[in-house]
Structure 1
Amino acid sequence: MSEKEKLDLKEKITKGLKQSYENLLRRKAALGQDMVFADENGQPRIVCAREALAEYERTSSCK
């Protein structure tokens, strides 16, 4: 596999993961559910999916 093919594959995987994560946030927000994340110490942190989606949209629009 050439370097270009490796980079293309990495880009495809990254794009798919981002899309999947966004779909998960949107689905959970629509259902009024929460998301569970790990904080910097590895402890569970529960966040409303609507808030998580809003934060995701804020940060991804800056990129």
Structure 2
Amino acid sequence: MGKNFFRVNNRIRAAKMLLIDEDGTSLGVQPLFSALAKSRERGLDLVEISPNNNPPVCKIMDFG
């Protein structure tokens, strides 16, 4: 998948998501504002990697 297929940061529409950190550790279900804050604290991006799951799965990573 190319970069155009992923929702990143403020383009994510889900209110809650299963959050995975940059090391691959699950941080549990988080509200969007909390997940965005965690990614910004680390200087990284929040990327929705599995939008069709319930809840969607997002990962903190350097998306470039």
Question: Comparing both structures, which one devotes a greater share of its residues to helix?
Answer: 1
Higher strand share: 2
Higher RCO structure (Cα 8 Å, ≥6 apart): 2
The answer, yes or no, to whether TM exceeds 0.5 is: no
- Give the structure with higher Rg (CA): 1
Interval containing the TM-score (normalised by the shorter chain)? 0.3 to 0.5
Give me the TM-score of the superposition, normalised by structure 1. Answer: 0.38
TM-score, normalised by the number of residues in structure 2: 0.38
